[in-house]
Amino acid sequence: MLQRYQDRGEKIIMQVNIQTKEYPNTVSRNVVAEVKGKEKPEKTVLVSGHIDSWDVGVGALDDGGGAFISWNALSVLRKLNLEAKRTVRAVLWTGEELGLIGVHAYNKAHKHELDNFTFVMESDEGTFTPLGLEYNTGTKGGCILKEIVQLFSSINATQVKYNGNGVGSDITIWSGKIPTASLLNANQNYFWYHHSKADTMDVLDSDTLDRCTALWTSVAYIIADLSEEFPRDFN
């Protein structure tokens, strides 16, 4: 609306009454679950979303959808009785909105095993119609991802998009260190809902979420089951 005022050449004067309060910190926790790998259980592919949300709406889009497909990925693997060579772990980060607090705490607590993180994924930019993957890896890693998404032609989710600035939200702390990817989806209307009262359950569509889950689960499983280690170099 303001943009339209401005485009018409109108002078905009705004008075903003902000009544935010900052409360003392309290305890909150990341939620973690995993399906152990059968050959290299110490090697881990991580899928994630964040479990906290903004104070208006219910956080269905940001980030209920991302948290849901990550949790559901493990559920699907269990139901299909699929055990990959490596462990697939789901983490639902807490405290993302206030500054990636959960992931920083996790990074500190899991320092000893970061070398074993094969691939890290987070969906935090919508779970609309899935299109493929956005990624931050080296060239060889990008080629592997490009091959993997060719498997999703039946749902038209065969695109890959490199993002050198990092992908996801929480997982950007590992950009350039651990290969990462997020869900590329038709999220052009994301900011209609993001951090607003409109972020309610009706933003999510169950068939679309199923397709997002299918892509998310399959990518995690395929990478966790590769015969070679996913390349860690960023050249």
**Do 87 and 116 meet the contact criterion of CB atoms below 8 Å apart?**
no
Q: Helix, strand, coil % (nearest 5) of the chain?
A: 40, 20, 40
Residues pairing with 181 in the sheet: 121, 135
Q: Which is nearer to Zn ion, 37 or 95 (CB)?
A: 95
Q: How far is the CB of 193 from Zn ion (least distance, A)?
A: 11
What character string, x for contact with Zn ion (CB under 5 A) and - otherwise, covers 189-208? Answer: --------------------
The span of 61-69, 111-119, 180-188, 203-211 binding Zn ion (CB under 5 A) equals 61-69
Q: Which is nearer to Zn ion, 50 or 86 (CB)?
A: 50
Q: How far is the CB of 96 from Zn ion (least distance, A)?
A: 6
Task: Tell me if the bond preceding 63 is cis, omega within 30° of 0.
Answer: yes
Q: How far is the CB of 78 from Zn ion (least distance, A)?
A: 26
Q: Pull the structure tokens for residue 220.
A: 């995690």
Among 37, 47, 52, 62, binds Zn ion (CB under 5 A): 62
Q: Which residues contact 10 (CB under 8 A, 6 or more apart)?
A: none
Cβ count within 10 A of residue 168: 29
**Do 46 and 86 meet the contact criterion of CB atoms below 8 Å apart?**
no
Pairing of strands 86-93, 40-50: parallel
Q: Which is nearer to Zn ion, 62 or 83 (CB)?
A: 62
Q: Pull the structure tokens for residue 222.
A: 């395929």
Q: How far is the CB of 120 from Zn ion (least distance, A)?
A: 16
Cβ count within 10 A of residue 165: 8
What character string, x for contact with Zn ion (CB under 5 A) and - otherwise, covers 103-132? Answer: ---------------------x--------
Helix boundaries (H) for the chain: 2-7, 65-79, 101-109, 139-149, 190-193, 206-224
Q: How far is the CB of 110 from Zn ion (least distance, A)?
A: 21
The span of 62-70, 147-155, 157-165, 170-178 binding Zn ion (CB under 5 A) equals 62-70
The span of 2-10, 63-71, 75-83, 177-185 binding Zn ion (CB under 5 A) equals 63-71
Q: With binding defined as CB under 5 A, does residue 170 bind Zn ion?
A: no
Active-site residue, from 96, 122, 125, 134: 96
Q: With binding defined as CB under 5 A, does residue 63 bind Zn ion?
A: yes
C-alpha 45/C-alpha 42 separation (Å) is 10
Size of the site for Zn ion (CB under 5 A): 3
- Residue 96 annotated as catalytic: yes
**Catalytic center residues:** 96
| Residues within the interface to Zn ion (CB under 5 A) | 62-63, 124
